Chain A
Amino acid sequence: AQSVTQLGSHVSVSEGALVLLRCNYSSSVPPYLFWYVQYPNQGLQLLLKYTSAATLVKGINGFEAEFKKSETSFHLTKPSAHMSDAAEYFCAVSVHNNDMRFGAGTRLTVKP
């Protein structure tokens, strides 16, 4: 079965600094990969998704992620953090049966 591991339950950056949130996946077949963001007491909002087209995926709010098959990774980056980026971020994987598996999440804190 597919799974994801998010390295680092909490990441803290300064405003304007690079954001890097790490995600490694495990899947026996080519996966679909997703990053979702969750603000307090809200549902999940899709940031971006990899669907076997381009390996570098651009999402909303300036985020992007690169699919690296050799490293089984799908890390999320943003060149310059904004205070409004503070939230919980979840990496997820699904395969053909659409059963989506989520990581434990990474809480991003942005310091002024």
Chain B
Amino acid sequence: DTGVSQDPRHKITKRGQNVTFRCDPISEHNRLYWYRQTLGQGPEFLTYFQNEAQLEKSRLLSDRFSAERPKGSFSTLEIQRTEQGDSAMYLCASFGLNSYNEQFFGPGTRLTVL
């Protein structure tokens, strides 16, 4: 499978716990994006990387959120001290130079904070 993969697909946690999600993009894609999608809404941009550099962060990304892409390949998104409002689907997408701005999406990680 050469698509975007995300792990885990589902995560249930208690309020106050830390969680980490992983995204593996399409191998030749240099850009990687994180989005958050709440019920009944479209995806909202969180942050993106070009190779290992984090180039833009949305104001939605509070200081409890951190994202890394240490070697320009896979990326992790960590949420510290989770709150019930963090419950959402977290989507990852990747983009390559010849993609005509098309982003390829992974299946998402659904987070439920109890």
Contact = CB atoms under 8 A, between A and B. Distances in A.
A103 B106 CA distance: 19
Interface string B71-106: 000000000000000000001010100001111111
A74 interface: no
29 contacts: A32-B100, A34-B102, A41-B108, A41-B110, A42-B107, A42-B108, A43-B6, A43-B91, A43-B105, A44-B91, A44-B93, A49-B100, A49-B101, A51-B101, A90-B43, A92-B42, A94-B101, A98-B31, A98-B48, A98-B95, A98-B101, A99-B45, A99-B56, A100-B33, A100-B93, A100-B101, A102-B42, A102-B43, A104-B41
B74 to A, nearest CB: 16
A61 B4 CA distance: 22
Interface of B: 4, 6, 31, 33, 40-45, 48, 56, 91, 93, 95, 100-108, 110
Contact of B105 (A32, A45, A98): A45
B6 to A, nearest CB: 8
A43 B108 contact: yes
Interface footprint category on A: 20 to 34
Contact of A103 (B42, B95, B107): B42
Interface in A41-88: 41-46, 49, 51
Nearest to A53: B100
Contacts of B100: 32, 49, 51
Contacts of A98: 31, 48, 95, 101, 103
Contacts of A90: 42-43
Given A98-B31, A98-B103, A100-B103, 5 more contacts: A34-B102, A36-B105, A41-B108, A49-B100, A98-B48
Contacts of B105: 36, 43-45
A22 interface: no
